[in-house]
């Protein structure tokens, strides 16, 4: 949480020649971070970030305590001005009735007192100004005092109109399920059994303690008598209730962080003083203080060696204890110096929930000594023999290859909308659902990379002649047991031709050393990875050992229309995990042939519907002397193949070539028109 | 023979003069002086002529040979000279190889991986949909702990494990801390659980979306565990990264902070690259928040089955996107641009 502290108010608690800029810089290095200083009139206001473990700092007093410990480390004098020794006021009897009970132990401590006030009026200017500089709106003197007190000391409190609670009873109890409450900002809530409320004995709810007052008991213009009330709540209850109804008052934000129950008493006494001063209050009852189980700070045993080991330097014991004492820690060092000699350290009550283990002591010493004063040392231990998962390196390899082959990498969110799922004919039931999506676009975890890619193609088609895109990311597939399966997939697109894309995919397999894979038309049963994205007659699947490496094909015309994609678009969708399984970086060496190859082009007449792949494969299989078969061109009913003949052991004779040539021509007759 | 020689000379000189490039000149040379070249054949006939004519004809043969050779040499020089006169328009644009683009996030991940590999950190990746246990509980944040608020976590509908809780979309890479201790520890020789030098890079998710926040982003998490690890080691690690990634002129500072899973905890600020540390509208008094870090909390070590009496360590987490932008001078008005996949943006990197 961030708090605003006026400089003028802070200096009521600390005497120091430090400038606001120095306070900002030095506190940030050793204590709370001062995010900025704003000049307001002749005053300055600090905006300070208070971490959730340090609720003791969320006040003028808390910041002053930190400053008093930190500034002297930078050579600047700082004296904490003790203004917290409030006296128990004298009480004018007879006491007005007030009955507080907490039979279920819902609070750690409850304090209350009845006062008669002179008048309800706007606060004095200096109170108003301080509240406003601290970001709180001024209402009237009675309410302002509770806020002023919270800012000054860091404990929330509440003020009731005594006469609006006819029974003068305060029964603190768990709410009933569905019990209604109207808070003082006139909002209605139906409570649950986990919430804690105050009942006036008639079943009427008169407060949501620690969070917000109710409309039916709050002070107003006609208030004559008040009950000033402070309770130390159970932080977890405050938190749950406040989060459940979204009532995030400053009081709730503090109370859920467990402020010091000891501070509650100090706050009550200071509050009484303020009511006397600013509202002409007279005390009309005894001070009630219900404090069944007092908690005390734990003694922490820690050796100076332990502290110095973490600090990486050797601080003398005196410096360590001086630092701790400057933070009001008590040190009981045992007189007996033994080998296992340890400091016995007792934190102040306001640090009792935050400082509990030796590491916490290390932090206190280290931060006040100054992290900037510690040396900077490079790691020196042994380098562990652990290894990185192979797929990370392969993914990187693939991305780099695609980049240099002219593709632009995209990154889409891992979630998409129900609309998009339906648009591409997938089913929401196959998806993992986000329980608390931010918008409908973040509702379902994607099981396929293609849908968002189609949106991106559609969106970008006017910016490029031919979009060559890719994304390599995980998809999230629900499983019956345990965590979902997270599989890395790769989607590659182009708008040139099926064959260009097929070449890219084959190039990738070659780059990864994946050999002897099978490519065939899509088997719809096997291809559970959404083959319906592809044109049924212009698509292909790659398999190895019955595992699907990937699918490529022309985007299904229906989807192209649905997404308004104008150009013919081709998509490859590859399973990275399966590619990783067959990854083989080892290359095999074959000696460079001593004898020159003979290369000949063959133009063969074939039927236009004949698949070329098998022809080339069969020519390759004709003889060991056929070293390579390449497609040069295809035109209507003719194909031109460039065939390399080679014998690694000798020069080929004209006769040998002739035999091969005849075989090829004979074979090609099978494919003739 | 004399007649033949003179005829040859005439033809040869004319042939040489007609050549237009070095290749054809070479052909002419071979036609004349090759093993069965015109000159070679005539010169062979020298043996058969009468003795008294030999000195004269021999001399003539040599003279003609020299003359033709000189002509060839001269032609060669001329032709080479001519090559020098061939001109092209060098201002015509080059023919580029296909040039694609890697996303900024990929580029940064690669660079960060390299930087940490050099000091022996192993890159890993863990589930993005993980158990509450790894994302929170084993990080010293029991259910309903207020510290969990900071993470604006997305939850996933699904079964609730009695031991591990519900599915969450990991709001930080710190789920890799206990996972790292569990899995990397196993790859060490038997009986050893540390040292561990891990860099975990993964997608993270938080319920936030505005000009400076995206619901999906990337983090990298460094974790170092060994005996006697101290705060100066953490400072050394940070200093190394900042020098390698941002350059030697950037300064850093540690500010006390609070995380449930580290003790002590810090935030790291790096000096602002725009105002050079003076203070400007992009920074807080000359500093930019870079990362959160701290010494590993003994409870977290215990969750990873390591004895905090024996081992200590530190952990540190950054956002990839943020880190990149703090270096490069790429100041995006709206960080969501990174994931909008407009090629006019993507192709700038």
Task: Examine the domain organization and report whether A44 and A137 are in the same domain.
Answer: no
**Cα(A184)–Cα(A175) distance, integer angstroms:** 18
Structure tokens of B213?
């926040």
A592, part of any domain: no
Question: In this predicted model, which residue has the larger pLDDT, A114 or A336?
Answer: A114
pLDDT tens, position by position, A473-484:
999 999 988 999
CA distance to partner chain A, nearest, from residue B137 (Å): 16
Residues of A in contact with B197 (CB under 8 A): 379, 383-384, 386
The predicted pLDDT at position B82 comes to: 84
**Cα(B4)–Cα(A664) distance, integer angstroms:** 54
Question: How far, rounded to the nearest angstrom, does the alpha carbon of residue B319 sit from its chain's CA centroid?
Answer: 20
Q: How far is CA B217 from CA A385, A576, B23, in A?
A: 30, 22, 64
CB contact under 8 A, A405 and B98: yes
pLDDT average, residue stretch B262-277? 91
The predicted pLDDT at position A573 comes to: 96
Between the ranges A104-118, B21-35, B61-75, where is the mean pLDDT highest? A104-118
Residue at a domain's end among B19, B50, B82 = B82
**Cα(B208)–Cα(B150) distance, integer angstroms:** 11
- The answer for residues whose C-beta is within 8 angstroms of residue A666's C-beta and 6 or more apart is none
B269, part of any domain: yes
Task: Examine the domain organization and report whether B155 and B284 are in the same domain.
Answer: yes
**Cα(A215)–Cα(A227) distance, integer angstroms:** 15
B90, part of any domain: no
Residue at a domain's end among B24, B50, B82 = B82
Q: What does pTM read for this prediction?
A: 0.87
Angle, alpha carbons B144-B165-B196 (nearest 5°) = 95
Residue at a domain's end among A50, A80, A110 = A80
pLDDT average, residue stretch A345-370? 96
Radius of gyration of chain B (CA): 39
Task: Examine the domain organization and report whether A568 and A649 are in the same domain.
Answer: no
- The answer, yes or no, to whether residue B188 has pLDDT greater than 80, is no
CA atoms within 13 Å, Cβ hemisphere of A373:
15
CA distance to partner chain A, nearest, from residue B121 (Å): 8
**Cα(A304)–Cα(A326) distance, integer angstroms:** 17
**Cα(A361)–Cα(A356) distance, integer angstroms:** 8
Question: In this predicted model, which residue has the larger pLDDT, A605 or A159?
Answer: A159
Cβ atoms of residues B269 and A25 within 8 Å: no
Give the E-state strand segments of chain B in sequence order.
122-124, 129-131, 154-161, 165-169, 196-205, 216-226, 252-259, 262-271, 287-296, 312-319
Task: Examine the domain organization and report whether A470 and A522 are in the same domain.
Answer: yes
Task: Examine the domain organization and report whether A37 and A119 are in the same domain.
Answer: no
Task: Examine the domain organization and report whether B50 and B189 are in the same domain.
Answer: no
Q: How far is CA A409 from CA A488, A554, A577, B335, B341, in A?
A: 15, 20, 19, 17, 9
Q: What is the CATH number of the domain that holds A563?
A: 3.30.930.10
CB contact under 8 A, A414 and B298: no
**Cα(A403)–Cα(B80) distance, integer angstroms:** 42
The predicted pLDDT at position A95 comes to: 85
Please provide the distance, in angstroms rounded to a whole number, between the alpha carbons at the two ends of chain B: 78
pLDDT average, residue stretch A601-630? 89
- The answer, yes or no, to whether residue A273 has pLDDT greater than 80, is yes
**Cα(A602)–Cα(B278) distance, integer angstroms:** 75
* Lowest-confidence pick of A107-111, A191-195, A289-293, B184-188: B184-188
* Domain extent at residue B210: 104-347
Count of domains observed in chain B: 2
The predicted pLDDT at position A92 comes to: 66
* Lowest-confidence pick of A265-269, A381-385, A503-507, A522-526: A522-526
Task: Examine the domain organization and report whether B50 and B113 are in the same domain.
Answer: no
- The answer, yes or no, to whether residue B93 has pLDDT greater than 60, is yes
B88, part of any domain: no
CA distance to partner chain B, nearest, from residue A129 (Å): 26
Residues of B in contact with A413 (CB under 8 A): 215-216, 339
Q: Is A637 annotated as a binding residue?
A: no
Task: Examine the domain organization and report whether A364 and A439 are in the same domain.
Answer: no
CB contact under 8 A, B124 and A389: yes
Task: Examine the domain organization and report whether B75 and B112 are in the same domain.
Answer: no
Residue at a domain's end among A372, A398, A426 = A372
**Cα(A55)–Cα(B134) distance, integer angstroms:** 27
- The answer, yes or no, to whether residue A3 has pLDDT greater than 80, is yes
pLDDT average, residue stretch B310-339? 90
Dihedral angle sign, alpha carbons of residues B145, B148, B153, B158: negative
Cβ atoms of residues A448 and A473 within 8 Å: no
Question: In this predicted model, which residue has the larger pLDDT, B144 or A557?
Answer: A557
Residues 31-90 of B with CB under 8 A from A: none
Q: Is A286 annotated as a binding residue?
A: no
Quick one: which H or E segment has residue B181? helix B175-187
Block residue for tokens 């021509």:
A665
Residues of A in contact with B194 (CB under 8 A): 384
**Cα(A157)–Cα(A146) distance, integer angstroms:** 6
A382, part of any domain: no
Quick one: which H or E segment has residue A604? strand A598-605
Q: What is the CATH number of the domain that holds B208?
A: 3.30.930.10
Q: What is the CATH number of the domain that holds A633?
A: 3.30.70.380
pLDDT tens, position by position, A518-535:
888 876 555 455 678 999
3-state helix, strand, coil in chain A (%, to 5): 35, 25, 40
Residue of B nearest to A239 (CA): B146
Task: Examine the domain organization and report whether A324 and A418 are in the same domain.
Answer: no
- The answer, yes or no, to whether residue B346 has pLDDT greater than 80, is yes
Task: Examine the domain organization and report whether B183 and B251 are in the same domain.
Answer: yes
Q: How far is CA A178 from CA A102, A155, A194, B241, in A?
A: 21, 30, 11, 56
State the ipTM, two decimals. 0.89
Task: Examine the domain organization and report whether B303 and B173 are in the same domain.
Answer: yes
pLDDT tens, position by position, B136-167:
999 999 887 877 877 789 999 988 999 999 99
**Cα(A451)–Cα(A491) distance, integer angstroms:** 10
Average model confidence (pLDDT) across chain A: 92
Task: Examine the domain organization and report whether B130 and B193 are in the same domain.
Answer: yes
Structure tokens of B270?
């790096």
Residues of A in contact with B235 (CB under 8 A): 371, 374-377
- The answer, yes or no, to whether residue A610 has pLDDT greater than 90, is no
Task: Examine the domain organization and report whether A118 and A8 are in the same domain.
Answer: no
> Which residue of A384, A402, A464 is in closest CB contact with B188?
A384
Q: Is A354 annotated as a binding residue?
A: yes
Task: Examine the domain organization and report whether B124 and B183 are in the same domain.
Answer: yes
> Which residue of A29, A389, A468 is in closest CB contact with B253?
A29
Task: Examine the domain organization and report whether A326 and A208 are in the same domain.
Answer: no
CB contact under 8 A, A313 and B197: no
Residues 303-332 of A with CB under 8 A from B: 309-313
pLDDT band at B42 (very low <50, low <70, confident <90, very high): confident
Task: Examine the domain organization and report whether A414 and A483 are in the same domain.
Answer: yes
* Domain extent at residue A249: 99-290
B255-269 residues labelled b (16+ CB within 10 A) or e (exposed): bbbbbbbbbbbbbbb
CA distance to partner chain A, nearest, from residue B178 (Å): 16
Residue at a domain's end among B34, B49, B82 = B82
Residues of B in contact with A389 (CB under 8 A): 124-125
Task: Examine the domain organization and report whether B120 and B2 are in the same domain.
Answer: no
Residues 128-187 of B with CB under 8 A from A: 128-131, 144, 146-147, 150, 154-158, 167, 169, 184, 187
pLDDT average, residue stretch B231-237? 97
Angle, alpha carbons A311-A315-A319 (nearest 5°) = 120
A90, part of any domain: no
- The burial class, CB within 10 Å (0-12 / 13-18 / 19+), for B59 is exposed
The predicted pLDDT at position A88 comes to: 75
Residues 391-430 of A with CB under 8 A from B: 392, 396, 399-400, 402-415
B262, part of any domain: yes
Task: Examine the domain organization and report whether A45 and A158 are in the same domain.
Answer: no
- The answer, yes or no, to whether residue A84 has pLDDT greater than 70, is no
Dihedral angle sign, alpha carbons of residues A447, A449, A454, A456: positive
A377, part of any domain: no
Task: Examine the domain organization and report whether B120 and B66 are in the same domain.
Answer: no
pLDDT average, residue stretch A89-106? 85
Q: How far is CA A414 from CA A2, A491, A636, B216, in A?
A: 33, 14, 46, 8
The predicted pLDDT at position B283 comes to: 83
Average model confidence (pLDDT) across chain B: 90
> Which residue of B110, B195, B227 is in closest CB contact with A384?
B195
Count of domains observed in chain A: 5
pLDDT band at A141 (very low <50, low <70, confident <90, very high): very high
Bridge partners (DSSP) listed for residue A338 = none
Q: How far is CA B144 from CA A237, A505, A624, B204, B241, in A?
A: 10, 49, 72, 21, 35
Residues of B in contact with A363 (CB under 8 A): 256, 263-265
- The answer, yes or no, to whether residue A387 has pLDDT greater than 80, is no
A384, part of any domain: no
- Candidates A114, A91, A210; CA nearest to A163 is A114
> Could you tell me if B102 lies within 8 Å of chain A, comparing CB atoms?
yes
Structure tokens of A288?
């009630």
A578, part of any domain: yes
Residue of B nearest to A468 (CA): B100
Task: Examine the domain organization and report whether B77 and B142 are in the same domain.
Answer: no
- The answer, yes or no, to whether residue A336 has pLDDT greater than 70, is no
Q: How far is CA A204 from CA A126, A166, A431, A475, in A?
A: 38, 11, 48, 54
**Cα(A235)–Cα(A256) distance, integer angstroms:** 4
Task: Examine the domain organization and report whether A316 and A461 are in the same domain.
Answer: no
CB contact under 8 A, A409 and B125: no
- The answer for residues whose C-beta is within 8 angstroms of residue B19's C-beta and 6 or more apart is B25, B28, B75, B79
Task: Examine the domain organization and report whether A116 and A46 are in the same domain.
Answer: no
pLDDT band at B40 (very low <50, low <70, confident <90, very high): confident
Radius of gyration of chain A (CA): 39
**Cα(B146)–Cα(B149) distance, integer angstroms:** 6
- Candidates A587, A586, A591, A664; CA nearest to A625 is A664
pLDDT average, residue stretch A552-571? 96
The predicted pLDDT at position B330 comes to: 78
Cβ atoms of residues B275 and B283 within 8 Å: yes
Interface size A-B, in CB pairs within 8 Å, comes to: 244
Residues of B in contact with A467 (CB under 8 A): 343
pLDDT band at B8 (very low <50, low <70, confident <90, very high): confident
Probe site for chain A from B169, B220, B287, B312 (most A CB atoms < 10 A):
B169
Q: What is the CATH number of the domain that holds A146?
A: 3.50.40.10
- The answer, yes or no, to whether residue A673 has pLDDT greater than 70, is no
Task: Examine the domain organization and report whether B192 and B274 are in the same domain.
Answer: yes
């Amino acid at each position: 949480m961030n708090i605003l502290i006026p400089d003028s108010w802070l200096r009521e608690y600390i005497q120091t020649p430090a400038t606001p800029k120095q306070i900002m810089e030095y506190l940030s290095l050793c204590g709370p971070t001062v995010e900025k200083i704003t000049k307001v009139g002749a005053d300055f206001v600090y905006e300070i970030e208070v971490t959730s473990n340090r609720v003791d700092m969320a006040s003028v007093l808390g910041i002053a305590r930190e400053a008093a410990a930190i500034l002297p480390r930078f050579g600047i004098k700082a004296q904490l001005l003790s203004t917290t020794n409030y006296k128990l006021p004298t009480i004018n009897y007879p006491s007005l009735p007030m009955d507080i009970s907490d039979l279920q132990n819902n609070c750690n401590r409850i304090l209350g007192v009845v006062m008669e006030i002179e008048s309800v009026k706007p606060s004095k200017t200096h109170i108003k100004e301080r509240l406003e500089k601290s970001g709180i709106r001024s209402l009237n003197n009675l309410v302002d005092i509770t806020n002023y007190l919270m800012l000054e000391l860091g404990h929330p409190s509440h003020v009731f109109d005594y006469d609006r609670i006819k029974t003068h009873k305060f029964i603190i109890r768990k709410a009933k399920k569905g019990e209604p409450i109207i808070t003082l900002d006139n909002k209605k809530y139906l409570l649950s059994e986990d919430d804690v409320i105050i009942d006036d004995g008639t079943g009427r709810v008169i407060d949501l303690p620690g969070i917000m007052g109710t409309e039916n008991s709050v002070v107003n213009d006609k208030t004559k008598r008040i009950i000033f009330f402070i309770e130390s709540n159970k932080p977890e209850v405050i938190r749950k209730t406040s989060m459940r109804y979204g009532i995030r008052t400053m009081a709730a934000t503090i109370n859920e962080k467990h402020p010091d129950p000891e501070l509650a008493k100090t706050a009550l006494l200071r509050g009484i003083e303020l009511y006397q001063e600013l509202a002409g209050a007279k005390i009309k009852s005894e001070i009630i203080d219900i404090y069944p189980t007092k908690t005390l700070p734990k003694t922490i045993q820690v050796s100076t060696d332990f502290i110095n080991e973490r600090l990486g330097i050797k601080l003398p014991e005196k410096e360590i204890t001086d630092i701790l004492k400057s933070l009001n820690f008590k040190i009981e060092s045992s007189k007996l110096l033994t080998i296992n000699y340890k400091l016995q350290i007792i934190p102040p009550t306001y640090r009792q929930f935050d400082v509990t283990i030796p590491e916490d002591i290390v932090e206190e010493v280290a931060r006040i000594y100054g992290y900037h004063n510690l040396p900077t040392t490079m790691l020196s231990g042994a380098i562990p023999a652990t290894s990185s998962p192979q797929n990370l390196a392969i993914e990187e390899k693939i991305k780099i290859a695609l980049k240099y082959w002219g593709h632009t990498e995209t990154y889409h969110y891992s979630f998409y909308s129900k609309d998009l799922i339906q648009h591409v004919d997938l089913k929401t039931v196959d998806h993992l659902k986000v329980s608390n999506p931010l918008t409908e676009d973040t509702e379902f975890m994607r099981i396929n990379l293609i849908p968002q890619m189609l949106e991106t193609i559609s969106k970008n088609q006017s910016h490029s002649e031919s979009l060559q895109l890719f994304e390599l990311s995980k998809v999230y597939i629900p499983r019956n047991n345990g965590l979902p399966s997270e599989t890395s997939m790769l989607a590659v697109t182009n708008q040139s031709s099926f064959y260009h894309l097929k070449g890219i995919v084959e190039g990738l397999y070659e780059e990864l050393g994946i050999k002897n894979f099978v490519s065939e038309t899509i088997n719809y049963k096997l291809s559970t990875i959404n083959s319906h994205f592809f044109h049924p007659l212009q698509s292909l699947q790659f398999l190895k050992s019955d595992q699907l490496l990937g699918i490529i094909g022309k985007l299904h015309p229906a989807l192209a229309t649905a997404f308004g994609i104008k150009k013919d678009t081709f998509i490859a969708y590859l399973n990275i995990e399966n590619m990783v399984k067959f990854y083989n970086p080892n290359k095999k060496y074959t000696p460079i042939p001593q004898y020159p190859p003979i290369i000949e082009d063959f133009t063969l007449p074939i039927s236009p519907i004949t698949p070329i792949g098998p022809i080339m494969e069969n020519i390759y299989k004709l003889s060991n002397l056929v070293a390579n078969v390449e497609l040069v061109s295809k035109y209507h009913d003719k194909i031109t193949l460039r065939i390399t003949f080679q014998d690694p052991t000798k020069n080929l004779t004209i006769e040998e070539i002739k035999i091969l040539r005849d075989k090829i021509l004979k074979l090609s007759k099978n494919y003739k028109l | 023979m004399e007649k033949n020689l003179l005829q040859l000379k005439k033809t040869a000189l004319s042939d040489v003069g007609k050549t237009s490039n070095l290749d054809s000149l070479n052909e002419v040379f071979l036609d004349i002086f090759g093993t069965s070249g015109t000159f070679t054949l005539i010169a062979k006939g020298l043996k058969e002529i009468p003795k008294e004519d030999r000195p004269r004809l021999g001399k003539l043969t040599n003279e003609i040979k020299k003359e033709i050779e000189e002509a060839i040499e001269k032609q060669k020089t001329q032709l080479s000279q001519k090559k020098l006169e061939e001109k092209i328009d060098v201002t015509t644009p080059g023919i580029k190889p296909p040039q694609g683009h890697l996303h900024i996030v990929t580029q940064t991940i690669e660079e960060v991986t390299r930087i940490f590999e050099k000091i022996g950190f192993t890159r890993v990746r863990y589930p993005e949909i993980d158990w509450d246990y790894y994302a929170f509980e084993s990080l010293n944040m029991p259910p309903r702990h207020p510290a969990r608020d900071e993470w604006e976590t997305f939850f996933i509908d699904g079964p609730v494990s009695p031991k591990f809780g519900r599915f969450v979309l990991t709001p930080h890479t710190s789920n890799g801390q206990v996972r790292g201790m569990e899995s990397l520890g196993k790859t060490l020789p038997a009986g050893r659980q540390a040292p561990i030098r891990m860099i975990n890079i993964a997608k993270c998710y938080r319920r936030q979306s505005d000009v400076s926040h995206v619901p999906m982003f990337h983090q990298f998490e460094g974790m170092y565990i060994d005996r006697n690890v101290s705060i100066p080691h953490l400072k050394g690690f940070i200093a190394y990264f900042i020098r390698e990634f941002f350059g030697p002129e950037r300064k850093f500072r540690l500010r006390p902070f609070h995380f449930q899973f580290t003790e002590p905890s810090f935030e790291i600020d790096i000096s602002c690259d725009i105002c050079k540390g003076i203070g400007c509208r992009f920074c807080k008094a000359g500093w930019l928040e870079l990362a959160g870090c701290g010494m590993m909390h003994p409870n977290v070590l215990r969750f990873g089955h390591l004895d905090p009496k024996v081992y200590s360590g530190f952990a540190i987490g950054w956002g990839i996107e943020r880190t990149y932008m703090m270096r490069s001078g790429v100041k995006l008005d709206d960080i969501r641009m990174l994931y909008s996949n407009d090629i006019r943006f993507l192709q700038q990197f």
